[in-house]
Amino acid sequence: MTAAYPRPEPVAAADAEFWSSLRAGELRLQHCLVCDTPRHPPAPICARCGATEAHWLASAGTGEVWSFTVIHPPTLPAFSASTPYGAVVVRLDEGVFMVSNVVDCPVEELAVGQRVALAITVVDDDLALPLFRRA
């Protein structure tokens, strides 16, 4: 038996919107209704203009690896079969950052500046993750 996959715990309605859009097969980012600045993770206030109004727009899901690290010992039992793996910081073309994984890339081939594209990965009926593939 494998260990349970860790589950994100939405702490606000905006978090729930992010995860439900992934389950529906789309990456959606929160955008300020006043200045149109995208924000991730979702937040109640725009860091640029201070507005509280927001809406959700689909993201192309493309970007580049901004930074990465290689995880050798498993930090969670669910990942033990996957080590070593690369944890990456992806800067989406919209300008926001996401922490994720590049699923089709051996860790020795990870590189800062590498172009990546979204690869929504369905874990089960309740969870889809925003992972990436090399573009």
Question: pLDDT by residue (tens digit) across 47-58?
Answer: 999 999 999 999
DSSP letter at 79 equals G
CB distance 88 to 109 below 8 Å: no
Mean pLDDT of 105-110: 96
Q: Is the pLDDT of residue 5 over 80?
A: no
- H helix and E strand count, the chain: 1, 8
Q: Is the pLDDT of residue 129 over 90?
A: yes
Query: pLDDT over 90 for what percent of the chain?
Result: 73
Mean pLDDT of 59-71: 97
- Per-residue confidence at 44, pLDDT binned at 50, 70, 90? very high
- Per-residue confidence at 78, pLDDT binned at 50, 70, 90? confident
Listed in sequence order, the DSSP H helices in the chain are 13-23
Chain segment 12-26, per-residue pLDDT in tens: 777 899 999 999 999
What is the average pLDDT score of the chain? 92
Domains (range + CATH), the chain: 12-59 (no CATH), 61-135 (2.40.50.840)
